[in-house]
């Protein structure tokens, strides 16, 4: 069966894909913060790491899971 999407269907699919991407990015960022940056923050509070290491990890996570130009995932 050969099926072609209408323009309206294509637009709806684009919205669904954008929403799925945004959800995935938020989920990946939250998991990375919990697993990677949060432990560094607590280590920095105890003097076992630096605040700069923690900030660097946050920036690394943001680069790995970037938001679009409008600041949304």
pLDDT digits (tens, 9 = 90+) for 14-72: 999 999 999 999 999 999 999 999 999 999 999 999 999 999 999 999 999 998 765 56
Containing domain of residue 60, as a range? 37-73
Q: How confident is the model at residue 13 (pLDDT cuts 50, 70, 90)?
A: very high
- Packed helices 38-45 and 51-64: angle between N→C axes, nearest 10 degrees: 170
Residue 68: count other Cβ atoms within 10 Å of its Cβ: 11
Count Cα neighbours of 49 within 13 Å in the Cβ-side half-sphere: 17
Q: Is residue 43 one of the residues assigned to a domain?
A: yes
Q: How confident is the model at residue 3 (pLDDT cuts 50, 70, 90)?
A: confident
Q: Is residue 20 one of the residues assigned to a domain?
A: no
Q: Is residue 27 one of the residues assigned to a domain?
A: no
pLDDT of residue 7: 94
Looking at the predicted structure, is the pLDDT value of residue 2 above 80? no
**Are 61 and 36 a contacting pair, CB within 8 Å?**
yes
């Amino acid at each position: 069966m050969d099926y072609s999407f209408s323009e309206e269907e294509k637009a709806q699919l684009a919205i669904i894909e954008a929403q799925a991407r945004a959800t995935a990015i938020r989920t990946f960022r939250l998991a990375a913060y919990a697993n990677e940056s949060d432990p560094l923050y607590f280590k920095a509070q105890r003097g076992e790491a630096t605040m700069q290491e923690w900030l660097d990890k946050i920036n690394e996570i943001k680069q790995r899971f970037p938001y679009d130009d409008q600041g949304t995932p």
